[in-house]
Amino acid sequence: MGSRNLVHACSFAAALAAWLSLSACASTDQRLATKGFEAIEKSQLADAERVLTEALDSNPDNPYALLNLGAVYQRTGRFDEAREMFERVIALDAQSKPAKRSWFVDPDKNLKQIAEDNLKTLPPKK
């Protein structure tokens, strides 16, 4: 797999891994994080970015929104911003496991570990 495809696969894996189940009792930021993930699945990255930013306005420490927004930034070539989002997930020590996984992601990994993996796929800082 070429490096460009690997970046896209890894960023999608982060987004897919960070999907959060929508439930009647989910908070506003969780519902927005789910909506953002669904936009990523449809390759509607501008919509995903808008919704995930709104989720983080509601709760700046939502690890699902952070990880998904990092994936959006990664897929759109904004690697410094992606790095910042992944580092915030790591700093939160997000031990939650994703509700939905893909074949790209080890099913035993938590959000922090997924963020660490995605961070490793980013090009070095300039």
**What class does CATH assign to 3-19+29-121?**
mainly alpha
Mean pLDDT of the chain: 82
pLDDT digit string, tens, across residues 1-49: 455 545 555 555 555 544 444 344 578 999 999 899 889 988 999 999 9
Q: Distance between CA 86 and CA 122 in Å, rounded?
A: 10
Strand stretches in the chain, DSSP E: none
pTM: 0.79
Say what percent of the chain tops pLDDT 70: 75
Quick check: 54 and 31 in contact, CB under 8 A? Answer: no
Q: Distance between CA 102 and CA 37 in Å, rounded?
A: 13
User: What pLDDT shows up at residue 125?
Assistant: 85
Domain ranges (residues) in the chain = 3-19+29-121
User: What pLDDT shows up at residue 38?
Assistant: 87
- Taking CA atoms, 102 is separated from 4, 14, 75, 78, 126, in Å, by 19, 9, 17, 23, 31
What angle separates helix 3-17 from helix 28-41, to the nearest 10 degrees? 150
Quick check: 105 and 9 in contact, CB under 8 A? Answer: no
Say how many C-beta atoms besides its own lie within 10 A of residue 29's C-beta.
21
Q: Distance between CA 8 and CA 102 in Å, rounded?
A: 14
